[in-house]
Amino acid sequence: MYGLQIDKLKNFYIDHFNLELVEEIKDEWVVLKSGQVEIAFHKIGRSYIPHNEEGFRVNSNTKIVFRIDQDLATFKQELLDKGVALKNTKSFKGINSLFCDGQDPEGNVFQLEQRLDADGK
């Protein structure tokens, strides 16, 4: 995935999702590990860097999904207390999970998923 403030993205995913740092080129490239999956953030090219870097928002249709083992409402509240942008919790007919979408500091969308047991708990 591309981003502008790579260090900020790295810290966000390590701090909130306990991802493991695998590789880093300071302010240019970072690889984070989640289970068997690695997520890489690469700094966008110079021609894409806006004049006001602080207001940078990514334009992407990629969504990272984190399946969590703990109660979604509890984890969601912990993130909200830390200032993470999250939407309402939702469910879908025929899927035995709860979902909640959020955004990282640059606008990349991620989703939290809590799988429920057969009784919906």
Q: pLDDT per residue over 69-120, tens digit each?
A: 999 999 999 999 999 999 999 999 999 999 999 999 988 999 999 999 876 6
- The answer as to CATH 3.10.180.10 being correct for domain 62-121 is yes
Which homologous superfamily is 1-45 in? 2,3-Dihydroxybiphenyl 1,2-Dioxygenase, domain 1 (3.10.180.10)
Q: Which residue from 12, 13, 70 is spatially nearest to 38, judged by alpha carbons? A: 13
Residues 73 and 33: their CA atoms lie apart, in Å, by 25
The per-residue pLDDT for 35 is: 87
Encode pLDDT of 9-36 as tens digits.
Answer: 999 999 999 999 999 999 899 999 988 8
| Residue 11, amino acid | N
Say if CB 68 and CB 20 are below 8 A apart: no
CA pair distance 117, 97, nearest whole angstrom: 9
